[in-house]
């Protein structure tokens, strides 16, 4: 499994845009990048446990990055820790759902899990729509949309003040196209954000857990799950969480049995 070397690339572009807007917003993350590079070096030398510790420190310090999550998932996968590997692959997937490397590693890691739960066939239009809105990261949709809208207004200004009929015509139609595409892109960013906000998923971390039909240790057994299985969180009492499997089965497990993505 190859590493992702570029750290926080999307965040860097956001910072660049902010710097253009305000010279006061200078930002430096040399220490973060150095630690990330250290983790990459450890991974490439086969020191996967050390790489886990280094990457995990970055995560615990609040760093959010596609490359960081992906590489940490790789480090866990290399040591056979499938549940945390899937957790961080899925975190990376939420930031970049169209990344084929991430999706391929999720599929690969899932082959190592004990539970093989089949999901019902998704309606083809729904499947196409989800694939479309998840093709790019939400940040990319949003930044691209904002830039296109700004470009559209810039072209309208050119249209307003140009004395050339040819330039006015080109600027006007280009502005309309940029504004329409920009609005669509920002809409897609919102739909992707809503999609993930409405899907609160988790990875089972206990080696074996028996889901109950009620949030109580005395509840009847519903089904048995194993480490690495992905579930959807429907409710949380603070001690118990109600989960749903991709096949529609529902049950309750304790909070400590799963970690939210």
Sign of CA dihedral 110, 115, 116, 119: negative
Whether the CB-CB separation of 232 and 244 falls below 8 Å is answered with: yes
192-247, pLDDT tens digit by residue? 988 888 889 999 999 999 999 999 999 999 999 999 999 999 999 999 999 999 99
- 16 confidence band (pLDDT: 50, 70, 90): very low
Over residues 97-122, mean pLDDT: 90
Is residue 144 exposed (0-12), middle (13-18) or buried (19+ Cβ within 10 Å)?
middle
The pLDDT, as a whole number, for residue 6 is 63
pTM reported for the whole predicted model: 0.77
Is residue 51 a contact partner of residue 225, using CB atoms and an 8 Å limit?
no
Rounded to whole angstroms, how far apart are CA atoms 29 and 20?
18
Q: Average pLDDT of 46-67?
A: 94
- How crowded is residue 80: how many other Cβ atoms within 10 Å of its Cβ? 9
Average pLDDT, stretch 108-137?
86
Q: Which is more confident, 68 or 120? A: 68
Half-sphere exposure (Cβ direction) of 257: Cα atoms closer than 13 Å: 24
């Amino acid at each position: 499994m190859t590493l992702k070397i570029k750290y926080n690339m999307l965040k860097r572009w956001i910072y660049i845009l902010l710097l253009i807007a305000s010279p006061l917003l200078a930002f430096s993350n040399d220490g973060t990048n150095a630690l990330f590079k250290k983790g990459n070096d450890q991974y490439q030398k086969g020191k996967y446990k050390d790489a886990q510790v280094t990457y995990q420190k970055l995560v615990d310090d609040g760093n959010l990055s596609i490359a960081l999550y992906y590489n940490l998932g790789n480090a866990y996968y290399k040591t056979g820790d499938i549940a945390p590997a899937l957790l961080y692959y899925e975190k990376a997937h939420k930031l970049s759902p169209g990344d084929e490397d991430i999706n391929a590693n999720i599929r690969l890691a899932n082959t190592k899990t004990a539970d093989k739960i089949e999901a019902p066939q998704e309606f083809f239009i729904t499947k196409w729509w989800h694939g479309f809105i998840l093709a790019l990261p939400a940040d990319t949709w949003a930044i691209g949309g904002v830039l296109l809208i700004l470009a559209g207004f810039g072209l309208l200004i050119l249209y307003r003040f140009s004395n050339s009929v040819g330039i006015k015509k080109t600027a006007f139609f280009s502005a309309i196209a940029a504004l329409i595409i920009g609005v669509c892109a920002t809409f897609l960013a919102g739909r992707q954000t809503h999609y993930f906000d409405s899907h609160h998923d988790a990875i089972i971390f206990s080696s074996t857990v028996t889901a109950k039909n009620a949030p109580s240790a005395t509840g009847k057994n519903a089904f048995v799950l194993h480490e690495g299985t992905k579930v959807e969180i429907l409710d949380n009492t603070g001690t118990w969480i109600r989960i749903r499997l991709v096949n529609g089965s529902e049950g309750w497990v304790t909070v400590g049995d799963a970690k939210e993505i």
